[in-house]
Amino acid sequence: MHELKKFGSLELSRRVLNAITDMGFEEPSPIQAEAIPLLMEGEDVIGQAQTGTGKTAAFAIPILEKMNPKFRGVQALVLTPTRELAIQVAEEITKIGKYKQSRALAIYGGQSIDRQILTLKRGVHIVVGTPGRLLDHLRRKTLKLDSIRFAVLDEADEMLDMGFIDDIETILRETPGEKQTLLFSATMPAEIQRLAKKYLRNPRFVSVSRDELTVPQIEQVFYEVKEFNKLEGLCRVLDVTDIKQAIIFCRTKRGVDELVAGLEARGYESEGLHGDLTQAQRNRVMRKFREGRAEILVATDVAARGLDIENVSHVINYDIPQDPESYVHRIGRTGRAGKAGSAVSFVIPKEYRLLRLIEKTVNTRIKRCPLPTFEDVLESQREVIIDRLSDTLQKGGLEHYRSIVEEMAGNHENEEIAAAALKLAFDIEGSHETIDAGEVDFGNTGAKEGMVRFFMNIGRENELRPQDLVRTIAEEAGVPGGTVGAIRIFDRFTFVEVPREYAERVLYSMDRSIINGRRVHMEPAKVRNRQD
């Protein structure tokens, strides 16, 4: 288990700590707890970490601590494989640096270079960019790297796969010898190790723990949601699940507050628990939960640590945890004292990899469940509705309403009027919408109806066989093998069709995965005029 550490014990400045507090981070993620002290001491670091582990803040925090806002030159350079990541990283740096007057800029192809040049001229402290566009700026001399003190290679294995290795080396050669260099990568192929050897000085290695972990024997399921309909998804699950008491986990304190407010607005009573509460407030919430007077507790990892409550029937990972250990920790809050328990996780497509890492580390399969539909919710509430209606009928006092029904009875069937009244009473706005599908439109990929065809840059020359492909897709994306459709394997590439409902997940899980020792790229197939 990683050492318990607070951000406070990392000796960070007030300004950075305040920004982190505003972001709602409560404690460093494992990769941060390990990497930040080393980086603060001036070490070069290799981090084996993927998206979702908090790796961005792991390097952004020390960079911001060491940055001098008064000096206008570029002091830190972050190389990323894609524009999306460049934007994301620059945003995270901006948030963490908001009290330091730091200026971070994302530089990527596809955006007007003139605007980037203008911003660079005004003075930028931290540049985050994709290699191609960075080179472009270096050639035009619109970007100078001679005052760089930090160079970060983020998702280095991805950059390698995308053929950026020469560009990276060219860029690194433009930076001063005296600097700290960090390399983050999910995998460590030989080429990355070579790069590390060449450009890092006595690097220290940090990684998210991969120790074998034992998990309590409880039912574990997950639901796939989109970021924007997560809350709606949670409400549906709460509606159809027989919960005695549940702890819902969020990644940040802010997340806890927002979720409590969101649940409140939808009529679910819940209590929030996190480190910003006073001890007295915390005690009050815990007592309420312990005595069973609150059904739902929304908490951060830190706040729920040590909570030992027998009747917790469900642990709900509203935000999937940042490492397998936290997962085990969290789900250990249920199934206490030999009672049955369930662990429910909500996963957005880009978190699939993290889910797989958790599954692999804890050596369990987490079952995917379709989100309950509106009909499921209604069905599960049938008895409640009938009870409440009977109750109302019994209590009487319906005279006023009866006259309305009588007035309408001439034009409508009584059943219709009653159903409309129920709809008025029990419908929640938006609750009819299908929230499960949230399918991305991949356009016409030339696939059969209801399927999406993908292109992969691997084929017969890589000894790819259809059965391997089906197995890999089934394992990596967790979809039933039988649902994989037509496969056509050519010498150097392959087309494979998967059902539309699984397409996004398959893409996130398979693109950049490794098959037969080779890193593959997957993308939606494009339809050409002439079929092959």
Which residue ranges make up the site for ligand AMP (CB under 6 A)? 25, 28-29, 32, 51-57, 92, 251-252
Could you tell me which residues come within 8 angstroms of residue 265 by beta carbon, excluding any fewer than 6 positions away?
A: none
* CB of residue 30 to ligand AMP, shortest distance in Å: 9
* CB of residue 285 to ligand AMP, shortest distance in Å: 20
Closest Cα partner for 309 from 326, 292, 285, 284?
A: 292
The single-letter code of the amino acid at 16 is: V
Is the Cβ of residue 53 or residue 317 nearer to ligand AMP in the bound state?
53
Buried b (16+ CB within 10 A) or exposed e, 225-240: bbeebbbbbbbbbbbb
The single-letter code of the amino acid at 278 is: T
Is the Cβ of residue 53 or residue 75 nearer to ligand AMP in the bound state?
53
Closest Cα partner for 250 from 303, 329, 190, 206?
A: 303
Is the Cβ of residue 322 or residue 509 nearer to ligand AMP in the bound state?
322
- Taking the chain, what is the end-to-end CA distance rounded to the nearest angstrom? 54
Buried b (16+ CB within 10 A) or exposed e, 246-282: bbbbbbbbbbbbbbbebbeebebebbbbbebbeeeee
Is the Cβ of residue 67 or residue 96 nearer to ligand AMP in the bound state?
96
Give the integer Cα–Cα distance in Å for 247 and 358: 20
Is the Cβ of residue 27 or residue 504 nearer to ligand AMP in the bound state?
27
Is the Cβ of residue 302 or residue 408 nearer to ligand AMP in the bound state?
302
| Helix, strand, coil abundance in the chain, percent, nearest 5 | 45, 15, 40
| CB-CB contact of 253 with 397 (8 Å) | no
Q: Where are the alpha helices (DSSP H) in 220-321?
A: 230-240, 253-265, 279-290, 301-304
* CB of residue 444 to ligand AMP, shortest distance in Å: 33
Give the integer Cα–Cα distance in Å for 125 and 133: 18
Chain centroid offset of residue 297 CA: 22
Is the Cβ of residue 33 or residue 447 nearer to ligand AMP in the bound state?
33
* CB of residue 394 to ligand AMP, shortest distance in Å: 51
* CB of residue 478 to ligand AMP, shortest distance in Å: 21
* CB of residue 189 to ligand AMP, shortest distance in Å: 21
Output the furthest CA–CA distance in the chain (Å, rounded): 89
Is the Cβ of residue 345 or residue 462 nearer to ligand AMP in the bound state?
345
Is the Cβ of residue 156 or residue 515 nearer to ligand AMP in the bound state?
156
Q: Where are the alpha helices (DSSP H) in 276-373?
A: 279-290, 301-304, 324-331, 352-362
DSSP state of 311: T
| CB-CB contact of 503 with 496 (8 Å) | no
Could you tell me which residues come within 8 angstroms of residue 384 by beta carbon, excluding any fewer than 6 positions away?
A: none
Is the Cβ of residue 25 or residue 442 nearer to ligand AMP in the bound state?
25
Give the integer Cα–Cα distance in Å for 29 and 186: 16
Is the Cβ of residue 47 or residue 372 nearer to ligand AMP in the bound state?
47
* CB of residue 157 to ligand AMP, shortest distance in Å: 15
* CB of residue 357 to ligand AMP, shortest distance in Å: 12
* CB of residue 58 to ligand AMP, shortest distance in Å: 7
Give the integer Cα–Cα distance in Å for 75 and 64: 10
* CB of residue 51 to ligand AMP, shortest distance in Å: 4
* CB of residue 49 to ligand AMP, shortest distance in Å: 7
DSSP state of 215: -
- Count CB atoms within 10 A of the CB of residue 303: 25
